[in-house]
């Protein structure tokens, strides 16, 4: 139904998320011919804007590469309209409803039912009231088309606040109408996890504690919280990227084979593995906050947007999780995430147990690395005979770099991929209510202790590898640092 006709309304249309992510993704889908045949797009926000000013603003971050994109951008802008209104009053939403109904009359042929998608690019404080107003004023009732609602983190700041939010929303929209976005689930490599794991016999056979020694899921960003301190302080790196993005990746790496590709079968397995995660012990946690470096880069506390100058908010965390099930008992899953580090990358690194001792001494353990970004790659570290007359053993890589293997490769933006899934009604890559609950259950006790100042926070210099103690920490957990890390990245 949504592939024929729909209206898409972005609430919070003049904000950062909408301008940087939502509208460029909608335009990307339009330019590639993936939006419904008949579509109109509405922006709703408090700011007073004309349609013209709104169209200029929403297109400011469009990527205009490829043939005819400028013309396409002009066409796309003509499909967009702006409605100004508050987030907590019925008049605003009644006005929005009228505007939508007007275009629906033009768009929908007689006998067809209209469909509506609402994308909440809004701060969570208004989620509840906006959902209430949408249900009261803009919801398509029985016998009419579908209404779908996309919401985005933060879904609360702990288990309790997440449940409160859920309590507000659940009576208004069914779980089938709600799409909780975690944009990591739209990334190409993350979407590949189910295929790579379950469609290859070798992977299925060694993907367990029988062969795997450690799993690391790493997120590194080379910049700090510059300018975003107001949002970040008091939130910290765990709420920002771990409880959601990295925990989602973990569930896909660790889950059992789903019964089918049905979204509920997949999400059932994700929930099941999250339930097996043990409470986090303090000894399995390292926290850090970046300080200034010698080249003059400012520390976290130097940022004008950080109000509390003795803030202990972590900008780095390394946490080892234990999954107590038959497959993973004994294998630490180490999540590491940090801002203002020496690198920009996200990867999953699975190190295998050493081969039997005897004929080899000290050889590099096998590793499979799935690099999520930049430059999607899967490589496996293997040992081989150095070619020639010697019998020397050398570590090398079996390398599957996407852009070398696939010609004319176009990797969609995560938001494009997810909005398209939502238009198709596919929930596989969206977070279910019980999944969110389990993710919060894992991290909430630790977050409470961190907020109460019970854990030390190490300072690391801007642009470094993070807190110094991390290297020893991962080695203590069983990770063997390869002697000749010789994989050459191509960007
Ligand atoms: C967001 C976080 O959810 O994800 C940001 O709030 C972070 O702090 C971003 O920078 C990372 O996303 P990506 O797609 O750039 O890896």
Residue whose CA is closest, atom 7 of ligand 1? Answer: 241
**Is ligand 1 within 6 A of the CB of residue 376?**
no
Sheet containing 367-373: which strands, arranged edge to edge? 393-401, 377-385, 367-373, 345-352, 212-220, 332-338, 316-322, 285-291, 457-461
For the ranges 221-230, 278-287, 358-367, the maximum mean pLDDT occurs at 278-287
- Cβ-Cβ contacts under 8 Å for 27 (sequence gap 6 or more): 59, 62, 72, 73, 76
Atom number, ligand 1, closest to the C-alpha of residue 184: 14
Residue 201's CB is within 10 A of a number of other CB atoms, namely: 7
Q: Is the pLDDT reported for residue 488 higher than 60?
A: no
How many helices, marked H, and strands, marked E, lie in the chain? Answer: 17, 15
Residue 251 token pair: 């569930």
The phi and psi torsions of 180 (rounded to 5 degrees) equal -90, 115
For residue 488, what are its two tokens? 């050459």
Looking at the CA of residue 225, tell me the nearest atom of ligand 1. Answer: 8
Q: Choose the most confident range, by mean pLDDT, from 105-119, 223-237, 259-273, 396-410.
A: 259-273
What is the pLDDT of the chain when averaged over all its residues? 93
Report whether the peptide linkage leading into residue 154 is cis, meaning its omega lies within 30 degrees of zero.
Answer: yes
Query: What is the 8-class DSSP label of residue 81?
Result: E
Q: Does the pLDDT at position 172 exceed 60?
A: yes
pLDDT of 27 reads: 96
Read off the pLDDT of each residue in 272-300 and give the average, rounded to a whole number: 97
Residue whose pair of structure tokens reads 């919280």 in the numeric block: 225
Task: Please state the rounded mean pLDDT for residues 241-249.
Answer: 98
Atom of ligand 1 nearest to the CA of 183: 14
Active site amino acids: 245
Distance 451 CA to ligand 1 centre (A): 22
CA of 224 to the centre of ligand 1 (A): 12
Residue owning tokens 């993907």? 207
Is the CA virtual torsion 478, 471, 447, 149 positive or negative? negative
Q: What is the pLDDT of residues 188-226, one digit of tens each?
A: 999 999 999 999 999 999 999 999 999 999 999 999 998
Q: Which residues, listed in sequence order, are joined to residue 215 by a DSSP beta bridge? A: 333, 350
Please state the φ and ψ torsions of residue 199, each to the nearest 5 degrees: -100, 5
| Paired sense of beta strands 345-352 and 212-220, if any | antiparallel
Task: Kindly report, residue by residue over 76-105, the tens digit of the pLDDT.
Answer: 999 999 999 999 999 999 999 999 999 999
Q: pLDDT-derived band of residue 1, with 50, 70 and 90 as boundaries? A: low
pLDDT tens digit sequence for 108-123: 876 778 899 999 999 8
């Amino acid at each position: 139904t949504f592939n024929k006709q729909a209206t898409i309304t972005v609430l919070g249309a003049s904000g950062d998320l909408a301008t940087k992510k939502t509208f460029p993704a909608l335009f990307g889908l339009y330019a590639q011919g993936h939006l419904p045949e008949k579509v109109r797009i509405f922006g709703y926000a408090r700011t007073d804007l004309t349609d013209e000013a709104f169209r200029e603003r929403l297109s400011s971050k469009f990527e205009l590469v490829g043939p005819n994109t400028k013309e396409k951008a002009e066409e796309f802008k003509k499909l967009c309209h702006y409605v100004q209104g508050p987030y907590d009053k019925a008049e605003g939403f009644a006005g929005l409803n009228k505007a939508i109904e007007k275009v629906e009359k033009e768009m929908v042929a007689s006998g067809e039912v209209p469909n509506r998608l609402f994308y909440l690019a809004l701060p969570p404080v208004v989620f509840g009231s906006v959902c209430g107003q949408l249900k009261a004023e803009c919801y398509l009732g029985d016998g009419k088309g579908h209404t779908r609602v996309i919401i985005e983190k933060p879904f609360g700041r702990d288990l309790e606040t997440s449940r409160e939010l859920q309590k507000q929303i659940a009576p208004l929209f069914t779980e089938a109408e709600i799409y909780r976005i975690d944009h990591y689930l739209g990334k190409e490599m993350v979407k590949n996890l189910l295929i790579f794991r379950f469609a290859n016999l070798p992977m299925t056979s060694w993907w367990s504690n029988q062969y795997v020694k450690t799993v690391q899921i790493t997120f590194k960003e080379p910049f700090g919280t510059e300018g975003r301190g107001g949002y970040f302080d008091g939130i910290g790196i765990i709420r920002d990227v771990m409880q959601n993005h990295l925990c989602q990746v973990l569930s896909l790496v660790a889950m059992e084979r789903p019964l089918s590709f049905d979204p509920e079968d997949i999400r059932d397995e994700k929930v099941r593995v999250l339930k097996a995660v043990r409470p986090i012990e303090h000894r399995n946690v390292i926290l850090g906050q970046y300080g200034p470096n010698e080249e003059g880069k400012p520390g976290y506390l130097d940022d004008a947007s950080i109000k509390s100058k003795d803030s202990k908010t972590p900008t780095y965390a390394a946490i080892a999780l234990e999954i107590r099930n038959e497959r993973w008992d004994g294998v630490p899953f180490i999540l590491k995430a940090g801002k203002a580090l020496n690198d920009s990358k996200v990867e999953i690194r699975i190190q295998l147990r050493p081969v039997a001792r005897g004929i080899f001494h000290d050889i590099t353990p096998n590793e499979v690395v799935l690099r999520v970004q930049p430059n999607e790659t899967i490589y496996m570290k293997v040992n081989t005979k150095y070619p020639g007359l010697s019998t020397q053993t050398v570590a090398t890589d079996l390398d599957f770099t996407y852009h070398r293997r696939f010609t004319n490769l176009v990797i969609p933006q995560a938001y494009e991929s997810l909005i398209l899934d939502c238009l198709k009604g596919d929930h596989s890559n969206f977070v279910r209510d019980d999944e969110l609950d389990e993710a919060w259950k894992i991290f909430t006790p630790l977050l409470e202790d961190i907020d109460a100042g019970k854990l030390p926070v190490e300072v690391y210099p801007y642009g470094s590898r993070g807190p110094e103690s991390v290297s020893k920490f991962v080695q203590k957990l069983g990770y063997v640092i390869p002697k000749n890390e010789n994989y050459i990245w191509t960007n």
